[in-house]
Amino acid sequence: MSGRVETRLFVDRGRCAGSGQCALAAPEVFTRSGDGKVLLRPGPGADVDQSRSAAARCPSGALSVVEYEVSEA
Ligand code: SF4
C-alpha cells in the first residue's frame, strides 16, 4: 500500500515546563502564553523542519512531530 505522507504536530501543554526553547527554535510556529506555556501561532501550517527542531530542544517532551501515511484508495 502506498499513499500520501502527512505530518502532524502535537503539543501537550500539560507537560510544558515553560522553558521557551520552542519559541526560540521556531518563532513562526510557537509563542508563549502569560503563564509561560507554549502556544501555537495561528496560521496555515507549521514549518515541519522548524517544528522538528523545536521538538528536539523541548526539555519536557511536550512536542512531537508524527508522520503517517494516508491511503489514497
Ligand atoms: S520547549 Fe517544551 S517545555 Fe519549553 S516552552 Fe516549548 S513546549 Fe514548553
Domain encompassing residue 48: 3-71
Q: What average pLDDT is seen over the chain?
A: 93
Reference 46, options 5, 6, 8, 4; nearest CA is 8
CATH number of the domain that residue 45 is part of: 3.30.70.20
* Residue located nearest, by CA, to atom 4 of ligand 1: 19
C-alpha cell at 70: 494516508
Cα separation of 31 and 38, whole Å?
Answer: 6
Tell me how many domains the chain contains: 1
Which DSSP letter does residue 13 get?
T
Is residue 58 in contact with ligand 1, taking CB distance under 6 Å?
yes
Q: Model confidence over 23-45: pLDDT tens digits?
A: 999 999 999 999 999 999 998 88
CA-54 nearest atom, ligand 1: 1
DSSP 22-58: HHHH-TTTEEE-TTS-EEEPPSS---HHHHHHHHHH-
